[in-house]
Structure 1
Amino acid sequence: MAIDKSSFVPPYYQLAQILERQIRAGDYRPGEALPSEAELSEKYGLSRMTVRRSLSQLARAGLIRTERGKGTFVSRPELDRAVFVMEEFHKEAAARGLTSSVRLLEARLVPAPEKAAGKLQVPAGTKVLYIRRSLLAGGEPLAYDRKYLRYDRGRPILENELQYQALPEMVEKHAEALPISSKMVLQATVLNDEEARALRVAPGSPAFLLEQVLLAGDGRPVGWGWCLYRGDRYQLTSVSMAI
């Protein structure tokens, strides 16, 4: 991964590509500091100005951020761009004067069932991390959340972290690959007996189902889950303007 100074590709662009590949491969994880400009300059035989130009390109792409006096850090990928996400759940509850909370119902290593194994592209029976949570507002359960995550790193399962983290953050903790893209599908469904009990409504009640798959840089799925939102408490709104 050296700089080819005889290439028609500018050195600053080559360095930016090298650092981007390292970030997407998880060599540098979200919140972790990159080497300093001086260290990068010495390692790759480039001027400080060239290194600075490479970092500027990565910053424009949203991959890194610079904190004055502290250094350059890998940015957290912006993956949760859907209507129903945990951050927005808390904001919406607060806007309505309600106290939001998350209740961790289950967090354990399990043999991947067939569907989860297919979604994560691992052999059935592979050990994966399974999480169940209930999202409450004003003490009332409004959403029922279930996730399956790759468990490559063998880190301890800390319940206080899993209670509040979004899916991308969970994957960063427990999988080797860094999630860099997300696919979400929203559809209507009805609740089965278990789901209805969790949401304290009648079986067969309508709900929104939001399914999410997180993908690493090589396209490999590293996390899969789905969350059910009560149909009697949520609605979709579209606003358009006549020109």
Structure 2
Amino acid sequence: MLKYQDVADKIKQKIYQQQITKDTQLPNIEELINQYQVSRTTIIKALNRLERHGVIYQVQGSGIFVRQPKKRGYLNFLESHGFSVDLNDLPGSSQVFNVDLMQPNSRVKENLQCDDNEQVYYIKRLRFADGKVYGFEQSYYRKKLVSYLNKEIAENSIFSYVQEVCKINIGFSDKYFKAIKLDAEIAPYLGLEVGDPALCVEEIFYTTSGEPFDFSQIIYHYDNAKFYVQSHSK
């Protein structure tokens, strides 16, 4: 994890743990520099990260303020920080069905820009939030970048593992949405009927240098999954 990400997480945790209310003014940049013993650049990047994630808002000439927290159990529709992070206000878990090392098919290869001789880890798991099925996920990780995965890792936060152990700096993602009807393969995982509606989201995650390392598809339970969107000043 980069220094500014660590500082951003510490500020966010303090806001949430102390239940600091909306529109409360936070210390200014100079005070934050002294408090966290980091550079001005690091603090500015941390604040910008928090603003993008909807934790704070900054008013030029006035200061830094706490933003209205998201409603409990809602997933950010546009941004992705990893399922465990995005839904950290609910008790969550994963049921992992398999972690396999395999040769990618043409579709996975295209999305991950794999070389001909590359292998990928294929993970299939159910994601739960507050004891309810939230979504069915299938993910492919490039072994070239994520050198090792197992069931224990997949039962927890893969993104934390990728950052802390594999030392991958996660940069950005491309996200694609479509409405589908469940087929006979997927419906039983979600406890739904064939033909029921669902939201299918495919996402490609990149390192900060622009190299794709994860291609994931998650199909959300139409009754349990909830989403929100936060706009940001331009």
TM-score, normalised to structure 1, is: 0.57
- Partner residue of 2:187? 196
Q: 2:210 aligns with which of 219, 222, 230?
A: 219
Equivalent-residue separation in structure 2 for 1:155 and 1:236 (angstroms): 32
Match of 1:61 among 45, 56, 70: 45
Per-residue CA distance 1:115-170 (angstroms, 9 max, x = gap): 1111100135621111111123565433101111111257443322211215x335
In structure 1, the residue corresponding to 2:156 is in which secondary structure?
coil
Does residue 230 of the first structure (1) align with residue 190 of the second (2)? no
- 1:25-40 aligned at under 5 Å gives the runs none
One of 190, 197, 200 as aligned partner of 1:206:
197
Pick the aligned partner of 1:134 from 126, 130, 135.
126
The residue identity in structure 1 corresponding to 2:124 is R
**Structure 1 letter corresponding to 2:217:** W
Contact 1:104 1:163 in 2 (8 A): yes
Question: What pairs with 1:125-164 in structure 2 (closer than 5 Å)?
Answer: 126-137=118-129, 140-152=132-144, 155-164=147-156
Amino acid in the other structure paired with 1:183: D
Are 2:93 and 2:155, in contact at CA under 8 Å, matched by a contact in 1?
no
Match for 1:82 among 67, 76, 86? Answer: 76
Native 8 Å contact 2:94 2:127 kept in 1:
yes
C-alpha change, 1:238 and 1:128, in structure 2 (3 Å) is: closer
Q: Which secondary structure does the structure 2 equivalent of 1:204 belong to? A: coil
CA distance in 1, matches of 2:123, 2:202: 14
Superposition deviation, residue 171 in structure 1: 3.8
SS state at 1:197 partner: helix
Task: Structure 1: give runs of 5+ residues left out of the alignment.
Answer: 1-22, 32-52, 64-77
Look up the equivalent residue of 1:114 and give its one-letter code: S
Q: Distance in 2 between matches of 1:238 and 1:158?
A: 33
Distance 1:152 1:173 in 2: 17
- Residues 124 and 144 (structure 1 numbering): CA distance in 2 closer, same or farther, change over 3 Å? farther
Deviation readout 1:49-72 (Å, 9 max, x if unpaired):
xxxx99321332139xxxxxxxxx
Structure 2 residue aligned with 1:20:
none
Look up the equivalent residue of 1:56 and give its one-letter code. R
The RMSD of aligned alpha carbons is 4.1
- CA–CA distance in structure 1, aligned partners of residues 44 and 228 of structure 2: 32
Match of 1:123 in 2: 115
Q: How many residues align?
A: 176
Q: Secondary structure at the match of 1:117?
A: helix
CA contact (8 A) 1:112 1:124 kept: no
The equivalent of 2:31 in structure 1 is none
- Structure 2: segments with no counterpart, 5+ residues: 7-36, 48-52, 54-74
Superposed displacement of residue 239, structure 1: 9.9
Larger Rg: 1
